[in-house]
Structure 1
Amino acid sequence: MLRDEAQALTNLLRGGADGGGMPAVSQPAPLRHALRLMRATEEDWTFQAELLATQLQLARATGYSRDNFAYGSTPLRSWLLLFEQLRPCLAPRTAFGQRVRYAVLGSSLGSLCVFGACIYGWQARGIELLPLLVKHATRIVHEARVTGVRFECADLLGCDLRELDVVMLASQCWDAALVGAVRAKLLTELAEGSLVVDYTDGLGRRDGASDDAQVQRRDFHLELTVEAPVSWDGSHRFYVWRVL
């Protein structure tokens, strides 16, 4: 997967530079540097041991199951395949040069935020509950000199998600109760037309729907699905939802 990612980065930078159908990358050198730092961190045994200890500690302290803190990665090629298909849906918001406001809930080491900021020039925000991951994500963007990205160590249920254009949920291992709470929060806070990218179809389920009248009046419409490889699945299905 790492070899494929390196080739995808080379193709992206070359294609964007010569008009080969790829987006013109906003921050090419920082993107390359950040990717190298992220993958090196993932392979570091000390990091892996600290991550396991932090996962166990937070599972005990927060009441979330340990599964919620499982670690996985989505390579550049897969993210790009997904978001290049999503970009036309953002045309009304970018037609007048508006900068897309993008957040990743469960941002881990920050790769998904870095991709948005470095490739498209989006204003990216990562929210992550594990302090260890936020520490390393912040270090990586600082060392790589990535601009337009910020990270918060927080429970996403307590964060203000208004004013966002695109939200990505790293929800593949979340407890059902958390998915339901996030669904209600997104319907309460996101504006009509906002897009939500999810690793599961959980937003399409109304099981245990909120009693809140505002939530009941709103819903998600499935815009498209995209299949792409991730670290735990050779062909994972992503879901892109529009807030109604």
Structure 2
Amino acid sequence: MGALTSERSSVKVRLIKGKAKACAEALERWGETRARREAEIERAVESLDEKGMVVLEKKIMDDLLEFERYLEDEEVLEALPRAIADITELTSEPERATIETMHRALGDADEASARALDGLCSELSAIEVDPAWRGRLMAEVQRSAAENGWSAGNFAYGSTSFSTWSELFARCDALRARARTLDDEDFVVFGSSAGWLVFYAAATLRARAYRGFEILQTLHDTALRALTNFEHHTSSKIDFVRADMLSASLQSVGLIVLTSLCWDEAVYEACARKLARELPLGALVIDYRDALGRHDAFTRLTDDPIRLPVSWNPRQAFYVFAKTT
């Protein structure tokens, strides 16, 4: 139980630190604006400049509106998760039957795929509640963090349900279109964990290949074992690679997922630069945070984040980007 508590705490601390930093930056930004306007007001009062006061009133209103947009765009006021769940996924409604959820992402889903996915989800769900498995994972996280000079939070573990995966496609037209046009392109996950998202894609998307990159041996081995039991016609197209994602070839990628929520900033920025350089034009990116929006090479495809339940947050934000330059 100590390992599980430590794992949950590391994710909580990471999220809280990020929120505190965002709030501090917002307050600093507003403080600079306020100081500038206060100086202008003082000068206008001293000179009895009534016209200047009217202009300042409009400027202050514009400042407030701009700051409000900043708070919304940066999600500064978004609430933190109430709790980092241990294993249980926090869903807002009962899980739909697999075949029904599959139809939301790919209209011609079949019963064989549904059965294969059901079996896969049952297997991985049983593994991730095993205390021995969790203990091995936590021990490896601590070793890897120390060896690479990264924070332990960089390796935080969580899972995304198939109903959430399917709902993400149901809410984004561009993703639904991609689900039907990947025949000559690859689907890739950076930070593929125990393989969940790779298996979801293999059961629902029409890709040339499905690849997951994961640096932790425990998670990589788990994905490989699950693959041997995945009775699906796409199983031969699935490849789990234990390697740094920065070594991956992106030459034929049409859709990539970044499980980036707890990555260290240096790790994320290195990944973003790689995508900007190497990802083909027109490729889509699914990300668990909005940081790709800082890079000119990417355009966000949804006006608002798509909020869906995951194991650590009942309203996790998902973002979809296109490589446009």
TM above 0.5: yes
> What pairs up with 1:133-152 in 2 under 5 angstroms?
133-146=219-232, 147=235, 148-152=237-241
1:149 shift after superposition: 1.7
**Secondary structure at 2:229's aligned position in 1?**
helix
**Secondary structure at 1:28's aligned position in 2?**
helix
- Cα 1:176–1:21 change in 2 (3 A) is closer
- Cα 1:21–1:169 change in 2 (3 A) is closer
Tell me how far apart the structure 2 counterparts of residues 241 and 77 of structure 1 sit (CA, whole Å). Answer: 21
Contact 2:190 2:214 in 1 (8 A): yes
Tell me how far apart the structure 1 counterparts of residues 271 and 101 of structure 2 sit (CA, whole Å). Answer: 37
Is the counterpart of residue 200 in structure 1 residue 295 in structure 2? no
Alignment-derived partner of residue 320 in structure 2? 240
Contact 1:198 1:238 in 2 (8 A): yes
Equivalent residue for 2:197, pick from 112, 120, 130: 112
Identify, as 1 or 2, the structure richer in helix. Answer: 2
Contact 1:5 1:76 in 2 (8 A): no
- Cα 1:161–1:36 change in 2 (3 A) is same
- Cα 1:65–1:172 change in 2 (3 A) is same
Tell me how far apart the structure 2 counterparts of residues 92 and 15 of structure 1 sit (CA, whole Å). Answer: 17
Identify, as 1 or 2, the structure richer in strand. Answer: 1
Alignment-derived partner of residue 109 in structure 2? 25
- Cα 1:71–1:110 change in 2 (3 A) is same
Alignment-derived partner of residue 95 in structure 2? 8
**Secondary structure at 1:24's aligned position in 2?**
coil
Structure 1 window deviating more from structure 2 (186-195 vs 218-227): it is 218-227
Tell me how far apart the structure 1 counterparts of residues 135 and 317 of structure 2 sit (CA, whole Å). Answer: 30
Tell me how far apart the structure 2 counterparts of residues 153 and 3 of structure 1 sit (CA, whole Å). Answer: 29
Equivalent residue for 1:77, pick from 129, 138, 163: 163
1:62 shift after superposition: 1.5
Alignment-derived partner of residue 228 in structure 1? 308
Tell me how far apart the structure 1 counterparts of residues 215 and 101 of structure 2 sit (CA, whole Å). Answer: 36
What amino acid maps onto 2:318 in structure 1? F
Give structure 2 stretches of 5+ with no counterpart: 1-87
Is the counterpart of residue 55 in structure 1 residue 141 in structure 2? yes
Alignment-derived partner of residue 59 in structure 2? none
What amino acid maps onto 2:298 in structure 1? F
**Secondary structure at 2:165's aligned position in 1?**
helix
Per-residue CA shift, 1:118-150, capped at 9, x if unaligned?
122433110000011010111012112241321
What amino acid maps onto 2:299 in structure 1? H
1:94 shift after superposition: 4.1
What is the identity percentage for the equivalent residue pairs of Structure 1 and Structure 2? Answer: 29
Tell me how far apart the structure 1 counterparts of residues 291 and 314 of structure 2 sit (CA, whole Å). Answer: 21
- Cα 1:40–1:15 change in 2 (3 A) is closer
Contact 1:5 1:77 in 2 (8 A): no
- Cα 1:15–1:226 change in 2 (3 A) is closer
What amino acid maps onto 1:38 in structure 2? L
Contact 2:105 2:179 in 1 (8 A): no
1:234 shift after superposition: 0.8
Tell me how far apart the structure 2 counterparts of residues 24 and 6 of structure 1 sit (CA, whole Å). Answer: 24
- Cα 1:60–1:87 change in 2 (3 A) is same
Per-residue CA shift, 1:45-78, capped at 9, x if unaligned?
1100000011011111122211110001111111
**Secondary structure at 1:197's aligned position in 2?**
strand
Tell me how far apart the structure 2 counterparts of residues 55 and 66 of structure 1 sit (CA, whole Å). Answer: 6
Query: Number of aligned pairs?
Result: 229
Tell me how far apart the structure 2 counterparts of residues 20 and 168 of structure 1 sit (CA, whole Å). Answer: 19
Alignment-derived partner of residue 210 in structure 1? none
Per-residue CA shift, 1:78-113, capped at 9, x if unaligned?
111112334545637945x82552111000011111
Structure with larger Rg: 2
- Cα 1:181–1:22 change in 2 (3 A) is closer
Tell me how far apart the structure 2 counterparts of residues 72 and 191 of structure 1 sit (CA, whole Å). Answer: 29
Normalization by structure 2: what TM-score?
0.64
Tell me how far apart the structure 2 counterparts of residues 204 and 104 of structure 1 sit (CA, whole Å). Answer: 19
1:170 shift after superposition: 0.4
